[in-house]
Structure 1
């Protein structure tokens, strides 16, 4: 892990699990990771056993130019990588693996940039496995969010030992990427709120506002 988003979410998850294979889903408090929510997601299994988005942050939806809820997670990648991604996420669901994927995202307009994805298991019981994750861009170019990412190719994969990773991150230098999200957005009260948004052309509109 190199990017601040991945490192911050890993430390939060690792603190919550407190030596267990994974923390319970109900232990995650959105207000405690409010700076990460725009790029954060939760995956679940659908009726076919496929990993789909249960929730996705607003900037993540803007990056892909669509509402990601209920969207197939492996389908974000090129066909040659989809089976591998599906197997990795099944490992997160079933074996409580921690997985990092480095990938190149390609926009509809032919642009590209590097991303880092971290997938962390959540304990939702045998019938309801969950995955908490974050996708961080190595940079924040002007076109991101206006020219949606439509394809991706895997560059690197790591299956992480969380105990060893926690020790090594203590001496590793992270790379800070400036955020595109407004700094004064209040934290959602629940995970159901952080994915609530609608798109107007290339903009993401958060529902709410002041009531008179």
Structure 2
């Protein structure tokens, strides 16, 4: 976490959650992070491939020269980067991870804006889904930001952060459900866990996690 906005938002979220995997959405007080709001956003997940901006700050929208609310978060990435983001979103919403991502935003003129993104989970009791609180902040502020829109983005670095040092599923029995949100079918029956390779602990998106590390 290099940027002050990333560090401040992460610390706010971490203090808010306490000993829980994630804080409730209703506990987030915009007044307490007033100075960060222009760079923050909330994502609503409707499946791994449908992740949309529910709210987006003014500075973030200005960098894209458009309103982001309602737009698909996964739009504008390469296939490889989109798959990586889908796996990150799964780790965040299913296993209470946080993610820090280095991003390059590209304009039609070939200009590149380096940014740092933070993604952390928010629990929404009663809605049956997890939302994602995030920030996306330019590392520098070139003269053209807000004049030439970011049309595509690419990942330059990414890191999963386990706030309590280990994923919640590592020390849990195989039958334990998501610590944030149990997954159910439309009929209300818990979904069966697919078989894993020998020695594996858990699947995170298309990634397989083995004891002693994440791969």
TM bin, normalised by shorter chain, reads: 0.7 to 0.9
**TM-score with structure 2 length normalisation?**
0.72
| 2:118 counterpart residue number | 118
Instruction: Indicate if the aligned counterparts of 2:96 and 2:162 stay in contact, CA closer than 8 A.
Output: no
Instruction: Indicate if the aligned counterparts of 2:43 and 2:53 stay in contact, CA closer than 8 A.
Output: yes
SS in 1 for 2:82: helix
Alpha-carbon shift at residue 163 of structure 1 (Å): 4.0
SS in 2 for 1:10: helix
| 1:92 counterpart residue number | 92
Structure 1 residue 142 corresponds to structure 2 residue 181:
no
| 1:154 counterpart residue number | 155
Range moving further from structure 2, 150-159 or 121-130: 121-130
Task: Give the Cα separation in 2 of the matches to 1:111 and 1:48.
Answer: 30
Alpha-carbon shift at residue 95 of structure 1 (Å): 1.6
Deviations 1:79-128 (A, max 9, x none): 33112112211221222210111111111221002111000100113712
Structure 1 residue 15 corresponds to structure 2 residue 15:
yes
Range moving further from structure 2, 105-114 or 14-23: 105-114
SS in 2 for 1:149: coil
Range moving further from structure 2, 75-84 or 36-45: 75-84
Alpha-carbon shift at residue 153 of structure 1 (Å): 1.2
Gaps of 5+ in 2: 166-215
Aligned counterparts, 1:32-47, within 5 A: 32-46=32-46
Range moving further from structure 2, 6-15 or 41-50: 41-50
Task: Give the Cα separation in 1 of the matches to 2:23 and 2:44.
Answer: 15
Instruction: Indicate if the aligned counterparts of 1:114 and 1:137 stay in contact, CA closer than 8 A.
Output: yes
Instruction: Indicate if the aligned counterparts of 1:74 and 1:83 stay in contact, CA closer than 8 A.
Output: no
Task: Give the Cα separation in 1 of the matches to 2:48 and 2:145.
Answer: 32
Q: Quick check: which one's helix share is greater?
A: 1
Task: Give the Cα separation in 1 of the matches to 2:131 and 2:36.
Answer: 18
Distance 1:147 1:49, change over 3 A: closer
Task: Give the Cα separation in 2 of the matches to 1:47 and 1:93.
Answer: 11
Instruction: Indicate if the aligned counterparts of 1:101 and 1:156 stay in contact, CA closer than 8 A.
Output: yes
Aligned counterparts, 1:1-212, within 5 A: 1-46=1-46, 50-125=50-125, 127-163=128-164
Deviations 1:102-160 (A, max 9, x none): 11111122100211100010011371210000001110111111111111111111000
CA RMSD of aligned residues (A): 1.6
Task: Give the Cα separation in 1 of the matches to 2:66 and 2:46.
Answer: 19
